[in-house]
Amino acid sequence: MSQPHRSVPRNRKSLIPRLLIAAVALALLAGAGWFWQQRAKAAAESAYRTATVERGNIRVAISATGTLSATSTVIVGSQISGQVTDVLVDFNSPVKKGDVLARIDPSSYEAQIEQGSAQIASAQASLRQYQATLRNAELDYQRKVDLGRQQLVAQSDVDLARAALDQARAQVNSSQAQIRQQTAATQTTRINLDRTVIRSPVDGVVLTRTIEPGQTVAASLQAPELFTIAEDLRKMKIELAVDEADIGQVKQGQSVSFTVDAFADRQFRGTVEQVRLSATTTSNVVTYPVVVSVDNSDETLLPGLTVNAEIEVSRRDNVLKVTNAALRYKPKAEEDAGAVAAGPQAMQRGGGVIDDLAVVAKELRLTPEQQAAFDAAAGVIRERQAARIAQVQQGGASMFGGGPGGGGPRIVMGGGAGGNQQGQMRQRMAERFQQDFAAFRATLGQAQAARWDGELKNLLGAKRAPLYKLVAGKPQMAQLRIGASDGTSTEVSGDIREGDVVVIGERARE
């Protein structure tokens, strides 16, 4: 038997499509809300130009130019005048100490030696004659003295004999002096004769030669320069001209990298050997000479090459760094209202010295008593800061000056522009911190106190600058310590982490 057919109620059939339509509508509304929310968030984020905090190395270098030269260069001249008969070396000739470089005609000096020898012989003959006269005068004087005692001769004859004896002795002495004088003159001529042979005073290489065979050398007032010899081209030096603004960073032993146009595809290295004090002023630009020693074992480098060098004055490895544009950025609202809120915001973000000191205290492994003393001192300082924040917000006065609008980071506390005022501020702050933490420091051991003093000094003397992190689509200020900068990136530390997004500028609104 067939079952009777049951029909669905009409009102139930019409309810199902309505529920489907409502569900689709709700889904569309939820999707539209999510879309508009994401779009608003993206729009907020896209309103800023950003960069990411990275970890890497920062190398600070000073650029300078200079000239390569041999470590020791000897100029060989001539002490005598005459005609050059032989030149035995040329440019680039290797020489050893004592090697003959050139010869000057020795004829005149040889003749003078012969003349002097003849004069010495003549003087020696005269000396022998005078010595004979002296012996005769001595005998005559002795006889007359004996006769005078017997009163056989007059006293006047004895006196004459004495005078003749003295005269004979004087002639002998004079003749001996003439012989010595002539011998010395002849010896001088022999020395000059030896100087007609120009010899190398050192081992090295001939760089320049300024004479030719047949040329006459005149050494009247000063020795003419005949050769220039580089003592050892395997060791060379560079004399760099470093600007007065950078010379304070240059120290002995720093590494130097340099290039020369002759070998543009190679980079050479050297070491700062000397920072000289003799300043040079050219067109009102003051520079100081810095001597760099260079190992040229392969003798690739040549004397006289122009050098483009970089002196590495600082290097920081594996540090957090941000682009300098992030340290120059300042929100429009702050630019319009001045730097009134900079101080309070910086303190509210916890980027000040207190938070840094808390990290130091943690590293000191304090006892409960020491930790309580630190917390008490830190609490007093935070209360004082809070009071100053309220005062600033009410009075509209800035606790921290705005940074300079130039190309560098806007430094709030540290060296740089306005150093006089900031130096006084650092000094007052250091004195205040020492007073506030005096009770805490008294609880520390000797090693802990030494560590605390050093860290406190470094933190108070550190340069600080504001930086804006992008948090939930909005810039959030953080007061950071800044370190070395290579002109593009700057080392930062404080309330910052690797990968944080920081604001470097605002996009133009359409």
Q: Are strands 216-217 and 100-104 parallel, antiparallel or unpaired?
A: unpaired
pLDDT at 67: 95
Task: Report in angstroms the alpha-carbon separations of 123 from 84, 116, 143, 149, 195.
Answer: 35, 10, 30, 39, 27
User: What is the per-residue pLDDT for 37?
Assistant: 62
In the prediction, which pLDDT does 400 show? 41
Please give the pLDDT value at position 64.
94
Q: Which residues of the chain have pLDDT under 70?
A: 1-20, 32-46, 333-352, 392-423, 508-510
Domain ranges of the chain: 62-68+230-316, 79-209
- Answer for the pair 140, 164: CB distance below 8 angstroms, yes or no: yes
Spatial separation of the C-alpha atoms in residues 209 and 217, rounded to whole Å? 13
**Per-residue model confidence (pLDDT) at position 310:** 94
Helix or strand holding residue 490 (H, E): strand 489-493
Beta-sheet strands, E only, within 71-128? 73-77, 82-87, 94-95, 100-104
What is the Rg, in whole angstroms, of the alpha carbon atoms belonging to the chain?
Answer: 47
CATH H-level, domain 62-68+230-316: superfamily: Efflux pump adaptor protein, beta barrel domain (2.40.30.170)
CA–CA separation, 379 and 389 (whole Å): 15
Residues facing 73 on adjacent strands: 230
pLDDT score at 197: 95
In whole angstroms, how far apart are CA 66 and each of 128, 241, 273, 282, 375?
70, 6, 14, 15, 56
- Three-state DSSP at 431 gives helix
Bridge partners (DSSP) listed for residue 56: 319
Q: Collect all residues with Cβ–Cβ distance below 8 Å to 332 and sequence separation of at least 6.
A: 506
The predicted model scores a pTM of 0.60
Cα separation, 153 vs 147, in Å, equals 6
What is the rounded CA–CA span in Å between residue 168 and residue 175?
11
Residue 335 CA to residue 342 CA, distance in Å, equals 11
Would you state the pLDDT for residue 195? 92
